[in-house]
Chains A and B, each alone.
Chain A
Amino acid sequence: MRLTALLAMAARVKVPPDYRYGTSRPWTVGAQRMNPPGKKRRKVFVEPIQPEDWSLFKGDTVEVLAGKDSGKQGKISQVIRARNWVILEGLNTHYRYIGKSGEYRGTYIASESPLLVREVALVDPSDRKPTQVEWRFTEEGERVRVSLRSGRILPKPVVQRRDGIVPEQWKDGPKDTSPDDALEKTYSASLKTFEEEIAGATGVVETRAGRRTFWY
């Protein structure tokens, strides 16, 4: 097991139940160096929050309530639910060198540190102050986040695609089926199998049947 062992390192990782999640995702090389397969670390206690009560999503604007940058508002760039972490863009930063090699000390960058969900609060878009948020149902039956102070609905942030395509502004190319043609309903239910329908449509008459087979 040599070449294939190296190739397997790039494959999907299976994570043990007592895995300690860090800021690097488990399949990255840095995380695999920090948590090799046999390593056991002291358990980190994480406040249990039910999946249906989770109200922070990537792209939301939140205000920091505690820590070095308390009082500032920022956008969430990453959510790590396993540890109730939220990483904001450019806030709660410490500085480090990245890309060090040989004698070169590397680039000095600001790297963000994660914040717990209890240390941040969602910002009400009407008055831009931090509020507590609850999940409620609208009259149409849609489940939305509602600010408790002003009652305004906080819409879920629109997820931008990584390839930068905005579906509403997409211009169809010559090989693209238009949305109407793709959604057209042309199925008509019948008791024939697909093959029998095609045989009927193309006029294939087959009188030979296969020989008898048995199964047990």
Chain B
Amino acid sequence: MGLLSGLARGLVRGADRMAEWTSKRGSRTFYKNRGARKTGVLTSSGKFVRVREMVPELVVPRLDAGFKLKPYVSYRAPLGTEEPQTPHKLFMEVVAPRIEKEIKEGTFDPDNLEKYGLERSQEGKIFQLYPKNYVR
């Protein structure tokens, strides 16, 4: 539906005020970003220094040897039956067996829960859980 047919239908004049204002529309000196993030830092001399940590790096599994997953899934595959993982289930699968084993041996120490995975604070960790400081 072009603008001309719209005008013919509506019999009103003027620009389309509701269209999105993008970087393609302004004058020669108009600059507007379209969402790309910076991959480095601009120094005082005007040189742009690329910072390796700011450049996204895709970590991809090896697709050649023994990788069975393909882009699409067959129509014959039924819906899966696995339930979504919850914190309770994660605890019961990972931590509870360790604690049970230690209680049976008699070496359970309620003051030293860090060896079963308890984290009293998120400081010093690279991937902090709260506030979440990683993209995924």
Contacts of B72 in A (CB 8 A): 173, 175-177
Size range of the chain A interface in the assembly: 35 or more
| A3-B16, A167-B75, A182-B73 as given contacts; A209 in contact with B90, CB under 8 Å | no
Q: A167 near B6 (CB under 8 angstroms)?
A: no
| Contact pattern, B 98-133, Cβ under 8 Å of A = 1, otherwise 0 | 000000000000000000010000011111110101
Q: B133 near A210 (CB under 8 angstroms)?
A: yes
From A198, which residue of chain B is reached at the shortest CB distance?
B59
Chain B at the A interface: mostly helix, strand, loop or mixed? loop
B29 at the interface (CB under 8 A from A): no
Contacts of B69 in A (CB 8 A): 177, 181-182
From B136, which residue of chain A is reached at the shortest CB distance?
A194
Of B16, B68, B124, the contact of A177 (CB 8 Å cutoff): B68
A185 at the interface (CB under 8 A from B): yes
Near B by CB (< 8 A), chain A positions 170-216 give 170, 172-179, 181-185, 187, 189-191, 193-196, 198, 202, 206, 208-210, 212-213, 215
| A4-B16, A213-B131 as given contacts; A179 in contact with B78, CB under 8 Å | yes
- Say how far A29's CB is from chain B's closest CB, in angstroms: 14
Contact surface of A with B, Cβ cutoff 8 Å:
1-7, 165, 167-168, 170, 172-179, 181-185, 187, 189-191, 193-196, 198, 202, 206, 208-210, 212-213, 215
**20 A-B residue contacts at CB 8 Å?**
A1-B17, A2-B6, A2-B10, A6-B6, A167-B75, A170-B75, A176-B74, A179-B74, A179-B76, A181-B68, A183-B77, A185-B82, A189-B89, A189-B90, A189-B93, A190-B94, A191-B90, A196-B127, A209-B125, A210-B126
